[in-house]
């Protein structure tokens, strides 16, 4: 009887899960390091772009038909020549690079406008290069960057008005700030024939209630009125979205009395997601509206190894009910039922189902890299080959290691859940002392774990190393592998807030031998990006140190959801 009861409860639970999957979607809609989302619609197709900072290719572009299932279709910056000049992703600093893009479609052309942030260590100055790229197909190819000279600041928006004029909406620090961190939103017309700003510059708004870090503007037009939406408060717990409106594009802009329209300021620091903001609005064909915004999950010490991710929220417009006001403005109300980002939200289109499978696999048989793979900066020529050995990725052990502003033989894909399993099969015969190859988890140049085979004292060893900010790199464990026969399968698992590292000398079926463990918070995202799981090879300063061949990788993320599934 007990067994039958347990089976019945399990059946009801699974039935409820299926029902939930059919009627709600799970946030985030883009798990993993996908911050600063911007979205546009072309008919029944939706396109979304995110910041990519120091990673290459840059500006990932996703496509969806239903706003909850997204496919990575390409990158705005996908050629080395786009990123090796004024837009420099070759030796850009960590958390530099591509910030806060906006994607828009107009008269058959897609536009992405964004900023490259590059710190010049010789001059001790930061260059902010604002530029536009265009494409007829959002999957690419995209044009060379059209740099907009004399455009100060960051986070540009491009706005196409009904009268044919095109406008640049930017962020800068005003000449005479009232307090540290004050930002100001400015406006100027763009000449798209000559790719330059033209006409008078207008200064629109410094934010609501004197908020710090007014930035990330987006301009919209609805029922003849202009709406200026911005982020404020920085990108941590005080992050928030503010909005103002005007009858004229140059203002003056009137702030919404109910600002902010999205924030987690009023919630506990222990809320499941925090720091929500840097958002973009979208109108559906039927007149409904939605918002995409970034947020940070609180899975690890009120933070996340995945960094800032993309979330979806419903929006409805409401007219002010105050009869005594001379003008009764209409304002967007975000998540009108609860006022916050929910883990489970009704699907935008009835009858659609979210396919929330956080899996990734690559057996390197296609002859080209899966688009999920990224490099930290533009890779050095000859870093890898898919032709040297059919069905394998060959990664060359260049002298470079993972270091500040460097380009090592390293590639990875985004960690998408706090709990996961990652495996990779490698064939590698080290040819010189110190030559190493294996797998990695990387947050930044100074925060990463490598799990690798290395030659030391003419023996083959397995070692686990940990680099943390402002600390000397630590050798967590090292041991000889007497039975090593050139092929090894690595396995990394994240469970119960810790990473476990194991390996197999007999293939994917194991057995896997435990090697070491580390707390998961040793790679906690504290910058603009999240963790990447990947492959790594190095000669540790020596050239001509050989190569490693990777046969396959697989990854499976695990949701921490069972206790949170709604019981409708």
Any idea which residues carry the catalytic annotation?
Answer: 36, 215
Structure token digits, residue 552: 């396959």
Residues 6+ apart with CB under 8 A from 13: none
Q: Which long-range contacts (CB under 8 A, 24 or more apart) does 86-89 make?
A: 86/116, 86/129, 86/131, 86/145, 86/147, 87/116, 87/129, 87/131, 87/145, 87/147, 88/116, 88/118, 89/54, 89/56, 89/58, 89/116, 89/377, 89/378
Alpha-helix residue ranges (DSSP H) falling in 24-89: none
| Tokens, residue 475 | 């050798």
Omega cis (within 30) before 141:
yes
**Which regions of 182-272 does DSSP assign to beta strands (E)?**
184-191, 196-205, 215-222, 225-232, 240-246, 254-255, 262-263
> CA–CA separation, 262 vs 238, rounded Å?
11
Q: Name the residue among 152, 154, 163, 158 with its Cα closest to residue 134.
A: 158
End-to-end alpha carbon distance in the chain? 27
Burial class (CB in 10 A: 0-12, 13-18, 19+), 143: middle
Where b means 16+ CB within 10 Å and e means fewer, 165-184 reads: ebbbbbbbeeeeeeeeebbb
CB distance 477 to 463 below 8 Å: yes
Residue holding tokens 């919630």? 267
Do 241 and 230 form a contact (C-beta atoms < 8 A)? Answer: yes
CA 151 to chain centre: 25
* Tokens of residue 113, six digits: 């406008």
Which tokens in the block code for residue 510? Answer: 């194991």
Beta-sheet strands, E only, within 429-473: 436-444, 447-456, 459-467
Residues, the chain: 568
- The answer to whether the CB of 561 falls within 8 A of the CB of 446 is no
Contact 142, 57 (CB under 8 A): no
Rounded CA separation 47/486 (Å): 44
Least Cα distance to 305 among 517, 533, 515, 98 occurs for 533
243, 213 in Cβ contact below 8 A? no
Q: In the structure encoding, which two tokens stand for residue 33, read together?
A: 């390091």
Of 55, 467, 521, 533, nearest to 304 (Cα)? 521
Question: What is the Cα–Cα distance from 334 to 510, expressed in whole angstroms?
Answer: 50
Q: How far apart are CA 309 and CA 261, in angstroms?
A: 19
Q: CA 554 to CA 558: how far, in whole Å?
A: 13
**Dihedral over Cα of 179, 183, 189, 195: its sign:** positive
């Amino acid at each position: 009887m007990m067994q039958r009861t347990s089976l019945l409860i399990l059946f009801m639970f699974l039935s409820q899960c299926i029902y939930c999957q059919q009627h709600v979607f799970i946030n985030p809609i883009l798990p993993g390091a996908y911050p600063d989302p911007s979205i546009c619609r072309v008919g029944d197709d939706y396109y979304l772009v995110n910041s990519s900072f120091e990673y290459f290719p840059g500006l990932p572009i996703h496509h969806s038909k239903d706003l909850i299932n997204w496919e990575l279709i390409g990158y705005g910056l996908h050629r080395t020549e786009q990123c090796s000049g004024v837009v420099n992703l070759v030796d850009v600093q960590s958390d530099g690079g591509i910030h806060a893009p906006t994607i828009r479609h107009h008269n058959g052309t897609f536009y992405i406008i964004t900023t490259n942030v590059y710190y010049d260590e010789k001059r001790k100055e930061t260059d902010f290069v604002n530029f536009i790229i265009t494409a007829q197909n959002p999957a690419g190819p995209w044009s060379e960057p059209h740099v907009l000279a004399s455009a100060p600041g960051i986070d540009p928006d491009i706005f196409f008005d009904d009268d044919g004029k095109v406008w640049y909406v930017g962020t800068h620090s005003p000449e005479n700030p009232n307090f540290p961190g004050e930002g100001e939103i400015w406006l100027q017309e763009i000449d798209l024939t000559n790719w330059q700003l033209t006409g008078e510059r207008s200064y629109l708004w410094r934010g609501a209630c004197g908020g710090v870090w007014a930035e990330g503007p987006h301009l919209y037009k609805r029922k003849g009125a202009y709406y200026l939406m911005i982020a404020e408060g920085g990108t941590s717990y005080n992050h928030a979205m503010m909005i103002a409106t005007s009858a004229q594009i140059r203002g003056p802009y009137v702030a919404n009395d109910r600002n902010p329209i999205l924030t987690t300021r009023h919630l506990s620091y222990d809320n499941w997601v925090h720091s929500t903001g840097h958002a973009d609005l979208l109108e559906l064909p039927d007149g409904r509206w939605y918002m995409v915004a970034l947020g940070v999950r609180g899975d690890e010490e009120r933070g996340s190894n995945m960094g800032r991710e993309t979330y979806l929220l419903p929006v409805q417009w409401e007219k002010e009910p105050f009869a005594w006001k001379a003008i009764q403005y209409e304002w967007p109300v975000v998540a009108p039922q609860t006022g916050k980002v929910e883990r489970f939200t009704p699907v935008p289109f009835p009858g659609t189902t979210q396919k929330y499978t956080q899996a990734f696999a690559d057996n390197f048989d296609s002859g080209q890299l899966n688009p999920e793979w990224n490099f930290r900066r533009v890779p050095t020529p000859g870093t890898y080959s898919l032709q040297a050995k059919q069905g394998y990725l060959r990664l060359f052990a260049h002298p470079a290691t993972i270091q500040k502003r460097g380009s090592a033989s390293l590639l990875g894909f985004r960690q998408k859940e706090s709990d996961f399993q990652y495996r990779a099969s490698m064939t590698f015969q080290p040819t010189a002392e110190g030559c190493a190859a294996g797998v990695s988890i990387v947050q930044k140049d100074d925060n990463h774990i490598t799990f690798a085979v290395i030659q030391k004292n003419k023996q083959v060893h397995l070692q686990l190393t940990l680099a943390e900010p402002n600390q000397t790199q630590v050798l967590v464990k090292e041991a000889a592998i007497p039975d090593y026969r050139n092929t090894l399968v690595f396995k990394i698992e994240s469970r119960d807030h810790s990473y476990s590292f194991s390996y197999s000398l007999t293939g994917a079926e194991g057995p896997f031998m435990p090697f070491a463990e580390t707390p998961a918070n040793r790679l906690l995202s504290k910058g603009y990006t999240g963790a990447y799981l990947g492959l790594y090879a190095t000669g540790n300063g020596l050239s001509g140190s050989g190569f490693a061949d990777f046969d396959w990788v697989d990854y499976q993320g695990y949701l921490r959801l069972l206790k949170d599934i709604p019981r409708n």
